[in-house]
A and B are shown apart, each in its own frame.
Chain A
């Protein structure tokens, strides 16, 4: 009986350690980004980036001066205004569909956003993503996440996410990309 308190204390310690182990933060929690979620028509800020989405749509074909973008898949276009708060930066913009990640296409060249941004001088235009057509019929297509960040693998830095349901977006045959340009600072 004299050892009972010690045994109980030991069991309590083991139980506490087990609870700690089961509730400890995951690597994603410890190393992952600080995410800010964006909607349409509202400006959101990360540590160094600002973003305001205006519109998103799907298109079978994109056009820009001197360029026509044919694809076997489908184009996802997100129009908006992106800015840098503190210094020159080249944002990384991607779309996650399930486990697959698609980087913003550079096929349209100067007709899309993606060049370096100077502090306080936001750019308005569009990002275009070339996706397989099958995503429109998949469950994953209803919950697609577009991410805007300072790098591809964001560790302990901010990221701006937009959740899109591709099945609810306008679907155009041919769409003209807006010419990127400086937005009102």
Chain B
């Protein structure tokens, strides 16, 4: 033991240099990927409770209406929701950048997220109404927040029965990442 201590004392600065250089190498190797992950995914979400308005960039978002049709209920059967599934219909009021011009076309995506035993699940809204519930027949695939008058986008999410419990609508825009909104 004393021989090892003697050796360690004689080579102290070499050992310290190796530890510092090794740690720095690992940090350097992963720094780029870590920064990419942080900047290109919605790692800075802002929670927006129901009834409140969230701001992403210069655009404003607010959940105006949520309708939840359960396929295994009388209401769901009346509107043609498939057994074993639920359909969540969300109306989101979008107020694009009031100072934007036609050159400022900025897309945004609104996805439904909800917890599950396997982890958080994500659904994209369908562009057409999968039910006979009254509403828009066709919708744009993504929203536009760069310019123009405010509008309400109606989105249809088909999920497994009970799958949307505890969920939220996540609003992202490539221009605004890593910021995002979570509309409850």
Within 8 A of A (CB), among B108-124: 116, 118-124
Query: When chains A and B are docked, how far (Å) is the Cα of A87 from the Cα of B119?
Result: 10
**Taking the complex as formed, is B106 at the interface, i.e. its CB lies under 8 A from any CB of chain A?**
no
**Taking the complex as formed, is A118 at the interface, i.e. its CB lies under 8 A from any CB of chain B?**
yes
1/0 per position for B81-121, CB-CB distance to A under 8 A? Answer: 01011000000000000000000000000000000101111
- Tell me if A's interface is mostly helix, strand, loop or mixed: loop
B123 x A88 contact (CB < 8 A): yes
- Knowing A120-B116, A120-B159, the reply to whether A88 touches B124 (Cβ < 8 A) is yes
14 inter-chain pairs at a CB distance below 8 angstroms, sorted by A residue, are A86-B119, A88-B124, A119-B116, A119-B160, A120-B116, A120-B121, A120-B159, A120-B163, A121-B85, A182-B82, A182-B84, A184-B84, A185-B84, A185-B161
Chain A residues within 8 Å of B, Cβ to Cβ: 85-88, 118-121, 182, 184-185
CB distance from B167 to the nearest CB of A (A): 11
Query: When chains A and B are docked, how far (Å) is the Cα of A120 from the Cα of B118?
Result: 10
**Taking the complex as formed, is B158 at the interface, i.e. its CB lies under 8 A from any CB of chain A?**
yes
CB distance from A6 to the nearest CB of B (A): 15
Query: When chains A and B are docked, how far (Å) is the Cα of A88 from the Cα of B159?
Result: 11
CB distance from B168 to the nearest CB of A (A): 15
Residues of B within 8 A of A182 (CB): 82, 84-85
Residues of B within 8 A of A185 (CB): 84-85, 160-161
Query: When chains A and B are docked, how far (Å) is the Cα of A158 from the Cα of B21?
Result: 34
Given contacts A118-B123, A119-B121, 19 further A-B contacts (CB under 8 A): A85-B119, A85-B121, A86-B122, A87-B121, A88-B122, A88-B123, A88-B124, A118-B158, A119-B116, A119-B122, A119-B123, A119-B159, A119-B160, A120-B163, A121-B159, A182-B85, A185-B84, A185-B85, A185-B161
Residues of B within 8 A of A184 (CB): 84
CB distance from A118 to the nearest CB of B (A): 6
For A183, give the chain B residue with the smallest CB separation: B84
B116 x A87 contact (CB < 8 A): no
User: Which of A87, A118, A119, A185: most chain B Cβ within 10 A?
Assistant: A119
Residues of A within 8 A of B118 (CB): 85-86
Query: When chains A and B are docked, how far (Å) is the Cα of A121 from the Cα of B120?
Result: 15
Within 8 A of A (CB), among B123-163: 123-124, 158-161, 163
The 7 nearest A-B residue pairs measured at CB: A120-B160, A185-B160, A119-B121, A87-B122, A85-B118, A185-B84, A86-B121
Residues of B within 8 A of A120 (CB): 116, 121, 159-160, 163
- Knowing A118-B158, A120-B160, A121-B160, the reply to whether A86 touches B84 (Cβ < 8 A) is no
Residues of A within 8 A of B116 (CB): 85-86, 119-120
Residues of B within 8 A of A86 (CB): 116, 118-122
User: Which of A86, A88, A182, A185: most chain B Cβ within 10 A?
Assistant: A185
Residues of A within 8 A of B84 (CB): 182, 184-185
Query: When chains A and B are docked, how far (Å) is the Cα of A88 from the Cα of B84?
Result: 18
Query: When chains A and B are docked, how far (Å) is the Cα of A62 from the Cα of B29?
Result: 52
Query: When chains A and B are docked, how far (Å) is the Cα of A119 from the Cα of B164?
Result: 11
